[in-house]
């Protein structure tokens, strides 16, 4: 009974504030710790006082994005499907979906590694490396791809754990990867002097550690998915249901890579200090962004469960509370990071040019962070409720729009345009999300127009 109270009870009938606290607070803690995990590499590389190395791991960020995206294609698509199946009491089918997700994640990681090894030199050029950083970037790239299957698997399984509302267990997995990173990073980077290769290897092993924990939880402790490892075949229809939602993660990642490459190639024109400044600022601004992310990622199972079980008033209540909390957090934490930005930037570099540029860049990115949480919330609502077209529109808008924005702003405003291009894109994308959400809300207000959406008998309408 205790297990049931810790999972499905919070999705199905717990008071909304209690449900949000249970589902989101562990995710917010986990994502905050995950922020620390993401800056650990930069911190220890920074101790070597080599701007070329710091630039190389910044240029290599799209690689992690690719691996994470493939994990999320299977994890988000499969996880939200599993939650909707739980809402419909089809747990046996959920196990088959989870098993397919596990094996497909490993296969995807290995295929990506093979392709990367065959095309490593063009990849390094695409990342924007110049003669001074090409060697470090190639080393980092090869190492990260070699162990990339662990990253794909980790992100897929994390979503699967989250799918039944097991936010604490998801958080514990992030703790595992962070602890391992704190051990491996100084060992590989400083003690063994493997510099950027050590940073990449530490990241892969840390992800493998948390993936192993998630496998243990799902196969031994999960309410609905125990024994999932014996399944690996699912129907074509079920695969399409997974990829219908999951493909948006790949689209978003593809566009994020294009935007990062554009950013790197424009930034490198102004010197390594600008690229390094972007790398430092990106990691710092993740603090408020990841707190908001923890909130809406924790609530995806709630949205999916209430939607599939047709409890529309509870779905609306959850969405309303999420908007309120994410808005409050964004204002509070963006303000705090802005006030202390100079002190925080100095943790990563003692290069005066990097410090000056980083302080300017982070100001623009914090404005973007005010809207980022709402963009993520809109996308999460669409993913959780199986809205494939709005999910794809959000991903495409966020990616495609950045291309003309950065090109035009760079042409007319130079470096200032490059720095503010992310902010302009995020504001417009958030507005697009609001429009799509209003259309979705109208469908909820008229549930009889859609056979899949009907209120639970005896519950009151309205948000």
Contact 432, 392 (CB under 8 A): no
E strand intervals along 241-302? none
Condensed to tens digits (0 to 9), the pLDDT of residues 67-92 reads 888 888 888 888 888 888 877 777 77
Inter-residue contact 65 to 260 (CB < 8 Å):
yes
Cα 149 to its chain centre, rounded Å, is 17
The pLDDT value recorded for residue 452 is 44
Are 455 and 447 spatial neighbours (Cβ–Cβ below 8 Å)? yes
Q: Are the CB atoms for 162 and 141 separated by under 8 Å? A: no
Q: 210, 212, 360: which is closest to 285 by C-alpha?
A: 360
Tell me the CA end-to-end span of the chain in Å, nearest whole number.
31
pLDDT at 4: 45
pLDDT value at residue 2: 40
CA separation for the pair 27, 33 (Å, rounded): 10
CA distances in angstroms from 75 to 39, 65, 186, listed in the order given: 24, 14, 31
DSSP E strand boundaries for 208-285: none
Run means of pLDDT, 10 residues per run, the chain, 463 residues: 56 83 80 66 72 75 82 84 79 85 91 88 78 79 89 89 80 87 86 84 91 91 80 82 77 72 80 76 73 81 84 88 88 80 72 76 84 89 84 80 89 89 90 92 64 40 33
Phi-psi region of 49 (alpha: psi -120 to 50; beta: other; left: phi over 0): left
Note the pLDDT of residue 7: 65
Q: Report yes or no: 73 and 247 within 8 Å, Cβ to Cβ.
A: yes
The SS3 of residue 44 is helix
pLDDT (0 to 100) of residue 134: 77
Cα–Cα distance between 165 and 306 in angstroms, integer?
Answer: 12
Polymer length in residues for the chain? 463
Look at residues 320, 444, 434 and name the one whose alpha carbon lies nearest to residue 379.
434
Q: Interhelix angle for 236-267 vs 415-445, to 10°?
A: 160
CB 289 within 8 A of CB 28: no
* Rounded Cα–Cα distance for residues 362 and 308 (Å): 40
Other Cβ atoms less than 10 A from the Cβ of 417: the count is 18
Kindly state the tokens that stand for 75.
């994890």
C-alpha to C-alpha distance for 103 and 215, rounded to whole angstroms: 12
Q: Are 97 and 82 in contact (CB under 8 A)?
A: yes
- Supply the pLDDT for residue 231: 80
- Burial grade of 314 (CB within 10 A; 0-12, 13-18, 19 or more): buried
Q: E strands along 243-356, which residues?
A: none
CA of 294: how far to CAs of 194, 333, 396, 428, in Å? 33, 14, 23, 23
The dihedral built from the CA positions of residue 451, 456, 457 and 462, taken in this order, carries a sign that is negative
pLDDT at 161: 87
Burial class (CB in 10 A: 0-12, 13-18, 19+), 186: middle
**Tokens 């595992």 — which residue?**
176
The two tokens of residue 394 are: 């959000």
Helices (H), 340-401: 341-345, 352-384, 388-400
CB 418 within 8 A of CB 409: yes
Contact criterion met (CB below 8 Å) for 119 and 177: no
**Crossing angle of the two packed helices 61-87 and 91-118, in degrees rounded to 10:** 170
- Contact predicate 391/310, CB 8 Å: no
Quote the tokens at residue 190. Answer: 């400083």
CA distance 289 to 309: 30
């Amino acid at each position: 009974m205790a297990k049931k109270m810790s999972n499905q009870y919070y999705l199905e009938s717990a008071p909304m504030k209690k449900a949000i606290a249970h589902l989101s607070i562990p995710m917010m803690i986990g994502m905050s710790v995950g922020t620390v995990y993401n800056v650990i590499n930069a911190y220890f590389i920074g101790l070597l006082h080599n701007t070329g190395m710091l630039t190389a791991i910044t240029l290599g960020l799209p690689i992690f994005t690719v691996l994470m995206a493939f994990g999320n294609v299977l994890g988000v698509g499969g996880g939200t499907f599993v939650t909707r199946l739980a809402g419909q009491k089809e747990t046996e089918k959920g196990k088959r979906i989870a098993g397919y997700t596990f094996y497909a994640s490993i296969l995807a990681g290995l295929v990506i590694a093979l392709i990367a090894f065959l095309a490593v030199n063009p990849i390094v050029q695409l990342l924007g490396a110049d003669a001074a950083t090409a060697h470090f970037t190639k080393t980092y790239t090869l190492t990260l791809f070699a162990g990339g299957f662990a990253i794909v698997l980790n992100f897929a399984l994390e979503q699967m754990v989250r799918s039944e509302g097991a936010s604490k267990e998801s958080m514990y997995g992030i703790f595992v990867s962070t602890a391992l990173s704190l051990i491996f990073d100084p060992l590989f980077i400083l003690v063994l002097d493997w510099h950027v290769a050590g940073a990449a290897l530490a990241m892969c092993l840390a992800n493998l550690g948390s993936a192993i924990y998630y496998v243990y939880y799902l196969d031994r402790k999960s309410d609905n998915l125990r024994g999932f490892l014996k399944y690996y075949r699912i129907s074509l229809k079920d695969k399409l249901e997974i990829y219908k939602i999951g493909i948006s993660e790949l689209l978003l990642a593809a566009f994020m890579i294009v935007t990062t490459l554009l950013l790197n190639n424009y930034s490198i024109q102004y010197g390594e200090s600008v690229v390094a400044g972007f790398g430092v600022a990106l990691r710092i601004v993740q603090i408020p962004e990841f707190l908001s992310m923890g909130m809406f990622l924790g609530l995806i199972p709630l949205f999916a469960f209430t939607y599939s079980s047709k409890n529309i008033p509870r779905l609306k209540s959850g969405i309303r509370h999420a908007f309120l909390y994410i808005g409050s957090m964004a204002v509070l934490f963006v303000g705090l990071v802005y006030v202390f930005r100079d002190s925080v930037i100095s943790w990563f570099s003692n290069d005066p040019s990097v410090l000056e540029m980083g302080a300017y860049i982070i100001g623009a990115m914090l404005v973007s962070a005010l809207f980022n949480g709402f963009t993520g919330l809109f996308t999460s609502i669409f993913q959780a409720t199986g809205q494939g077209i709005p999910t794809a529109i959000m991903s495409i808008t966020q990616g495609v729009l950045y291309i003309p924005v950065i090109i035009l702003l760079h042409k007319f405003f130079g470096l200032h345009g490059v720095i503010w291009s992310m902010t302009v894109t995020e504001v417009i994308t958030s507005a697009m999300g609001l429009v799509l959400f209003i259309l979705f809300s109208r469908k909820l207000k008229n549930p009889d127009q859609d056979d899949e959406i009907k209120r639970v008998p005896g519950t009151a309408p309205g948000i």
